[in-house]
Structure 1
Amino acid sequence: TEKGKMINSGKYSDMLSVDFIDKIDEVSDSIKGSVNYHLHDWCISRQRYWGPPIPIVYCEKCGTVHVPEDELPVMLPNTDDYIPDGSGKSPLAKNLEFVNTTCPVCGGPARRETDVSDNFLDSAWYYLRYLSPKNRSVPFDDELVDKWCPVDMYIGGNEHATLHLMYSRFLAMALHDIDFLPFEEPFASFRGHGLIIKDGEKMSKSKGNIVNPNEYFETHGVDALRTYLMFMGTFLEGGDFRDSGMDAMRRFLNRVWDIATMPEGKSSTELKIKMSETVEKVEYSINNIKPNTAIAAIMEFVNEASKETSIERQLVIDMAKLLSPFAPFVCEEIYSMKGGKKKTILDDGFPYGYEKYASMAKTELPVQITGKMRGKVVLPQNASQEKAMEAVMADEKLSKMLEGKSIRKIIYVQDKIINIII
């Protein structure tokens, strides 16, 4: 029953079964190779009250008839009797005023379809309707679809990858085939996010480990919760929610506020260099959906800023700009307090003007000799291999280790490590 060699199969004996499958139609005309899919047909109808009515009527004379376009949409009737009764029929089936209608073709008596569309059907094309939600003449504007679609990136959990994403792709391909869309694939890329757990287990009511965010709004604040959720783990893997982490995030935001209320004055060149590094790290992290590393970079800046006795106003504003995607309320308050030039921090763009300080930034470069760590040297960022070797040879301890030795190979990863093979 498993893969292997064929036996008792005449001329096919000793043939590998995987090869025999391709020749199955040679054995008998009644046996043909086929592909079996485990995907069931998608049933879009639901037996409930809430949902878009299906625009079909049934006439004994004309059969199944589409509701004319000028009578769309079919509206749900107002009723207090909307609870399913266990009969397997939609609650709408009991509303005779809704059910009984006239046939659009012959004008005779007819009855409406009482099932409604599954919500998945509408959510499978919501990205198109979002472009023109108030347009009552067409479902979506073709010019806006050409401008904005396909969607650059689809973000969702694992359950979306096999349900909602699949339905969206199916509907887009169907609309493409009937010339309503210029593309088949609705989303250019997909990123699946991780799962937030509590005490090492998936959150569930049965385990009693559900987190109610409203409680943390009162004790820690909305910003602390938002920032912690994006800091607690990687986007792709998720993380373990802990109260101790929430406490730490509240302390961090308090430190941010302390820096924002420091005396205004000239900041050190080192702090401006640190800001240039932070701007670069946060921009990279946001573009690559790594909010945890962006927040970690801001934390490093806050640590350095807390060592200063005064700080320039623009540095405070730029710190708030970098943190605002994660903690918008406190950052908006800081921006207003520091006299931001725009109506809101969201309109003021990304920090800029630190290029000259970026060129002054230093990095500690680990030095290996034949694979063993022997020390570190301090270099300007993005230094060449030649500059790195100059720094190594200028270090008294490292140069003695290399004295009289023949260097066979140098492995240099800029700003990361240098390995000198002797």
Structure 2
Amino acid sequence: MGVPAHDLRDFNFWSAHQPGQPIKFAVTPNEDGQTSGMEDGPFLNAGYMTSLAGAHKGLPSGKAAEAVVESIQASTGSAKGVVKWKLRDWLISRQRYWGTPIPIVHCDTCGPQPVPDEQLPVTLPEVEHHWKEGRSGNPLESATDWINTTCPKCYGAAKRDTDTMDTFVDSSWYYMRFADPQNGELPVSEAALKEHLPVDIYIGGVEHAILHLLYARFIYKTVVDLLYSEKLGQEDGQSILEPFTRLITQGMVHGKTYTDPTSGRFLKPDEVDLSNPSEPSVVTTGEKPGVSYEKMSKSKHNGVDPTDFISKYGADATRAHMLFQAPVSDVVNWDEDKIAGVTRWLRRLYDYVQSLGAVPEENSEWAAKEYFTKIKKELGEAGQEQAAQWSADTDVWRATQQTIDQITKSYEKVYSLNTTVSLLMGLTNTLADSKAVSQTVKIAAMNHLLRMMAPITPGFAEECWRSLYPSTNSIFDSTWPEPDGTIELLGHNYIKCAVMVNGKMRYVATVPHRPSNMEEKSQEYQNWLTDRILQTEEAQAKLSNFDIRKAKKAFVVKGGKTVNYLL
């Protein structure tokens, strides 16, 4: 709206592009219209007009709005005040059984009357006979014992409202009850509101981002405004003006569909011959059907029953497969064949744990620094075989520490959980492929790996943990692994970095992995990477026509495997 003084998003935009520049307030909490004592942030409440409003200075903001409309109407006749409601009633008026009954009774004499407080809540009647008898429509319409009631005003005959509220109504405020579940007087107390809200993260599908979020915010803001608007000052209320701190929108899951090549009709599973999956055919005609991925629905016959999938592959493999397909916000084309990679990974990891045997005691606090300090000291005196083992130990432990850092950040972001599964697979392969690594490092690395897997494959991780540590507690009694500070001691391993300038490949440099204390998108890391690229004379010669240190933008992707400089 272009009002950084009175809109949080506008204020953030202004702060990013005009840092340090003052903003002009049109509304102030001061009755005299002065802006003295105003904070640096935006003022988001109703108040009094400042001198920016001219003759309306000092008027309450609501009255000033009315005065402006009246002035336009008086001078031009081309405007008038109108109240518009953008919230529709589809959440309230559903002609179906499943939902919260609307607490209204209809009386021919008195009209619609609210159900008295002492008779709340109105509960749904038992209507099993409706479906057993194969009836259609809203079963409440025929629940005569429930419908027929007494008018609370004249005590004459009346009927209950048979419409119900959509389940979105219930889910639009339950998070307030989570903060204060035992409160019998209010939806949420002021103390619980301040302590537990807003919700840290809201995850929902596309429909939630558009509709449910709208209604949840409306109900939340209404409750807070009605109960606490006068009690909460600007400073106290600022953090709880919104019910949710962060929104993540899940992508749709699309299923494979088959269509008749002649009519375009969606084919049922038994109408398609999949004996040769690579060449499906229509059972009745032998023709090749149209194949595409569409949003799962009954009409397209492309739904997947998760219970069938879980019974075939297991809950943990199914969960890992779902997360591995794509970032949370992306559309996923459901392909059962791709789970083979996940099941191979879990099988390989399970076999590796079995090869380690049982360990008497779990030790999450293994003294890695002391171990690798000793390696570094003795490496020059070691024989070839021992040097190979120590080198393998260093590589495996370096990979373990880097994976801890990357997965921790991935869990914090949520939407990159597919990379979490990929990183876990990579660490498994590094560990399993390293033949010379010592038993000590194998066990310590597996200890960290299983704890990082536990949120995604809880049952599998627990089984492997019990196999490795049969005399210890559950894996869920342990703590989350943290970097132990050995990365710098171990030194860097190297990766190939494709250096592009203005979108064209110019050179492939060998550079160290990104330090764990630098963010991939940070300017610090971009400068660090540029320095490492230009360390060799060959790189300087190849890039002599481009001063990449003065690039307008640098885009680093894939952990430093590609960097594109825009000059």
Fold match by TM threshold 0.5: yes
Equivalent in the alignment of 1:72: 120
Equivalent in the alignment of 2:445: 315
Identify which of 245, 249, 255 aligns with 1:188.
245
CA contact (8 A) 1:45 1:116 kept: yes
1:214 aligns with 2:307: yes
1 CA distance for matches of 2:130 and 2:342? 46
Pair 1:368–1:81, CA change in 2 (3 A): closer
State the one-letter code of the partner of 1:339: Y
Q: Percent identity?
A: 28
1:275 aligns with 2:405: no
Equivalent in the alignment of 1:262: 355
Q: 1:297-336, aligned counterparts within 5 Å?
A: 297-309=423-435, 310=439, 312-336=442-466
Identify which of 298, 305, 308 aligns with 1:205.
298
Is the helix fraction higher in 1 or 2? Answer: 2
1:377 aligns with 2:510: yes
Pair 1:106–1:340, CA change in 2 (3 A): farther
Equivalent residue pairs, number = 391
1 CA distance for matches of 2:421 and 2:497? 25
TM-score between both structures, scaled by the size of structure 2 = 0.59
2 CA distance for matches of 1:334 and 1:139? 44
Pair 1:120–1:82, CA change in 2 (3 A): farther
CA contact (8 A) 1:101 1:110 kept: yes
SS class of match (1:346) = helix
Pair 1:279–1:409, CA change in 2 (3 A): closer
Pair 1:28–1:375, CA change in 2 (3 A): closer
Uncovered stretches (5+) of structure 1, i.e. residues with no partner? 1-23
TM-score between both structures, scaled by the size of structure 1 = 0.77
2 CA distance for matches of 1:219 and 1:54? 43
Compare 164-173 and 62-71 and name the one that shifted more.
62-71
Pair 1:349–1:110, CA change in 2 (3 A): same
Q: 1:392-407, aligned counterparts within 5 Å?
A: 392-393=536-537, 401=541
Structure 1 position 148, deviation (Å)? 1.8
Structure 1 position 209, deviation (Å)? 2.7
Equivalent in the alignment of 1:165: 213
Uncovered stretches (5+) of structure 2, i.e. residues with no partner? 1-71, 230-236, 257-291, 360-388, 516-524
Structure 1 position 29, deviation (Å)? 3.2
Pair 1:256–1:64, CA change in 2 (3 A): same
Structure 1 position 34, deviation (Å)? 7.4
State the one-letter code of the partner of 2:102: I
Structure 1 position 234, deviation (Å)? 1.8
State the one-letter code of the partner of 2:423: A
SS class of match (1:258) = helix
Structure 1 position 33, deviation (Å)? 9.3
Identify which of 329, 332, 340 aligns with 1:247.
340
1 CA distance for matches of 2:406 and 2:188? 39
State the one-letter code of the partner of 2:317: A
Identify which of 532, 536, 544 aligns with 1:388.
532
Pair 1:76–1:42, CA change in 2 (3 A): closer
Q: 1:30-69, aligned counterparts within 5 Å?
A: 40-42=88-90, 44-59=92-107, 62-69=110-117
Pair 1:40–1:135, CA change in 2 (3 A): closer
Compare 169-178 and 103-112 and name the one that shifted more.
103-112
SS class of match (2:509) = strand
CA contact (8 A) 1:131 1:140 kept: yes
Equivalent in the alignment of 2:140: 92
SS class of match (2:332) = strand
Equivalent in the alignment of 1:127: 175
2 CA distance for matches of 1:101 and 1:345? 57
* Deviation readout 1:135-187 (Å, 9 max, x if unpaired): 55544454333322111221111111222111112212222331268644322
